[in-house]
Structure 1
Amino acid sequence: MNWNKWVRQGHRWVSIAFTLVSAAIFLALGLGNQPAEWVYMLPLLPLLLLVLTGLYLFALPYLSRRRPLEKT
């Protein structure tokens, strides 16, 4: 698997983790539980990774156009 596929697959798994953590926080709030303050910071690390990998994936088509075609 090349680098781009690793980034794409990692982006997908991190998005699942972000969704689960965010849903758990909302579920706890919906059930009337008040989580500790640090629990609200848990989604920030996956969110940062999602932003970084998302920007990379967004830029891929533009970067590949700038690269000269390889002769085979």
Structure 2
Amino acid sequence: MGWNKWIRQTHRWLAVAFTATVIANFVAMALGTPPMWVVYSPLPPLFLLLFSGLYMFVLPYTAKGRAARAEA
């Protein structure tokens, strides 16, 4: 599996993990005051989603630059 495909697959699984932690957070809040580790549990997947999403966002722009340099 190529580097870009690996990043995309990781991003998808991080999105699943983030969604699950947010749902668990809402369930815990409905049952009472949740512990702090439950409240902050969505943050690690969210930060990883940020970095992988920014990487995928920049890919088309860097590919255009590489293609222009290859033509010259």
Report the TM-score, using the length of structure 2 for normalisation: 0.87
Give the superposition deviation at 1:29.
Answer: 1.5
Give the number of equivalent residue pairs: 70
Alignment partner, residue 29 of structure 2: 29
Alignment partner, residue 19 of structure 2: 19
Distance 1:25 1:38 in 2: 10
Give the superposition deviation at 1:37.
Answer: 1.4
1:38 to 2:37 alignment:
yes
Runs of 4+ in structure 1 displaced over 4 angstroms? Answer: none
Runs of at least 5 residues in structure 1 that lack an aligned partner in the other structure: none
Which one has a larger percent helix, Structure 1 or Structure 2? 2
Alignment partner, residue 59 of structure 2: 60
The percentage of counterpart residues that share the same residue type is 48
Runs of at least 5 residues in structure 2 that lack an aligned partner in the other structure: none
Report the TM-score, using the length of structure 1 for normalisation: 0.87
